[in-house]
Amino acid sequence: MLLLSESDIRQLISMDDLIEVMQTALIEYSRGRVEQPLRTILDVKGATAGDGHAFFGVMPAHIPKSGALGTKLVTVFSSNLAIGLPSHLATIVLLDETTGALMAVMDGRFITEARTAAVSAVSARLLAREDASVMAIVGSGVQARSHLLAISRVRTISEVRVWSPSASRRRAFVDELQPSATARLVSVDSAEAAVRGAAIVVLATAAREPVIANEWIADGTHIAAVGACRPDQREMDPRLVARARTFVDSRTGALAEAGDIVLAIREGCIDASHIAGELGALAGGEVAGRTANSEVTLFKSLGMAVEDVAAAHLAYVRAAERGLGRGIPL
């Protein structure tokens, strides 16, 4: 059995790698070539959950095309931030698809961070206007950082406006990332100031209620929304969801878990047919993407096991080739 740390994973896969691997995995999923049940989520209650926002998820998938079989075990404990730990922690287990034997155990925190942003980059490559150069990021955590890197790989970004509720955290974001960024990074004082006039908007928050309003979003904007992953949470004004040509990673998952979709349906703003398609179907040429420069497009991301297993399989193959990781007999 091969054990791979976060440091190993960072050496083995790049953002450019992940963007391409994620697009292929999404196409396989939307064409029905992946076995992936709806993830199982356990609501963790009790003193260990801190403020009560704590979840444990089990996310298995099998990708016959590559022979990848595995599962991600993920926890989301918002109280971790107060003790200096990431709110999202994960471990990925890979199995031999012919025997079921354990092949690898690896850190999944960085894979989760990076593959989420890589999928958003796929959405921006397929849906954002070609001339999109101003990006807004609502949030200043690890997903904000990862999305800055990922979307900069598919569009030439000249300015990034960053807002989060903590002025010190958004200033730290700018100070940390500006030296390596090609775009000008700007900390702004409100979500409205960030998103008005932006051609690409990334929503990477822990919000349970909308943080952006429909009227703040200009015609032609592309939105990648990666927070609000439970059916009672949302980041967007439901009128904005209704206005946008909307894509999801999994139609089944979105209708069960994506609060921005679920709550908009419950309130009568949209129905299930409002979802234009899955991102994999768009990437595979089975549905149309942006229909006009003035159209607002939305990708609502939940994250899927197929993404984690595809990324982990790539890391495993490269580790075997390069002799990285630690072999442990069982």
* Helix (H), strand (E) at residue 41: strand 40-43
53: pLDDT confidence band, cut at 50, 70 and 90?
confident
Per-residue model confidence (pLDDT) at position 228: 84
Q: Which tokens hold the place of 302?
A: 């939940």
Comparison of pLDDT for 84 and 319, the residue scoring more: 319
**19 band by pLDDT with thresholds 50, 70 and 90:** very high
Q: Is the pLDDT of residue 50 over 60?
A: no
Six token digits for residue 258:
């994506």
Start-end ranges of CATH 3.30.1780.10 in the chain? 2-111+306-327
Whole-angstrom CA distances from 196 to 2, 200, 221, 300 are: 48, 10, 10, 20
Q: Is the pLDDT of residue 161 over 90?
A: yes
Has residue 206 got a pLDDT over 90?
Answer: no
- At residue 52, the pLDDT reads 59
Q: Is 130 helix (H, G, I), strand (E, B) or coil?
A: coil
The pLDDT of residue 48 is: 57
- Partner residues linked to 60 by β-bridges: 71
* Residue 79 pLDDT level (bands cut at 50, 70, 90): confident
Q: Is the pLDDT of residue 45 over 90?
A: no
pLDDT at 177 over 80: yes
pLDDT of residue 244: 98
23 CB-near residues (< 8 Å, 6+ apart): 122, 280, 283
Question: What value does the mean pLDDT of the chain take?
Answer: 95
CATH class of 2-111+306-327: alpha beta
% of the chain surpassing 90 pLDDT? 88
Cβ(304)–Cβ(36) below 8 Å:
yes
Q: Supply 13's token pair.
A: 């896969």
At residue 164, φ and ψ (nearest 5 deg) are: -150, 165
Residue 112 φ/ψ region, left for φ over 0, alpha for ψ in the -120 to 50 degree band, beta for the rest = alpha
Which residue in 250, 251, 257 sits closest to 304, CA to CA?
250
pLDDT band at 330 (very low <50, low <70, confident <90, very high): confident
Tokens of 176: 């940390």
Three-state SS at 47: helix
Q: What is the pLDDT of residues 257-266, one digit of tens each?
A: 999 999 999 9
- Please report, to the nearest 10 degrees, the dihedral formed by the alpha carbons of residues 57, 62, 65, 68 taken in order: 80
Range(s) of the chain covered by CATH 3.40.50.720 = 118-304
In this prediction, residue 241 carries a pLDDT of 98
SS3 (DSSP) at 314: helix
pLDDT band at 81 (very low <50, low <70, confident <90, very high): confident
Instruction: Report the greatest alpha carbon distance in the chain.
Output: 59
The answer to whether 47 and 37 are in contact (CB under 8 A) is: no
CB-CB contact of 95 with 101 (8 Å): yes
Provide the token pair at 179.
């030296």
Q: How confident is the model at residue 134 (pLDDT cuts 50, 70, 90)?
A: very high
Q: Which overall architecture, per CATH, does domain 118-304 show?
A: 3-Layer(aba) Sandwich (3.40)
Residue 46: what pLDDT? 66
Mean pLDDT for the stretch of residues 284-298: 97
**What average pLDDT does the segment 89-104 reach?**
97
Work out the average pLDDT over 55-72: 96
pLDDT of residue 25 exceeding 90: yes
Alpha-carbon distance of 157 to 155, in angstroms, equals 6
- With bands split at pLDDT 50, 70 and 90, how would you rate the model's confidence at 153? very high
pLDDT of 10 strictly over 90: yes
Give yes or no for residue 230 having a pLDDT over 90. no
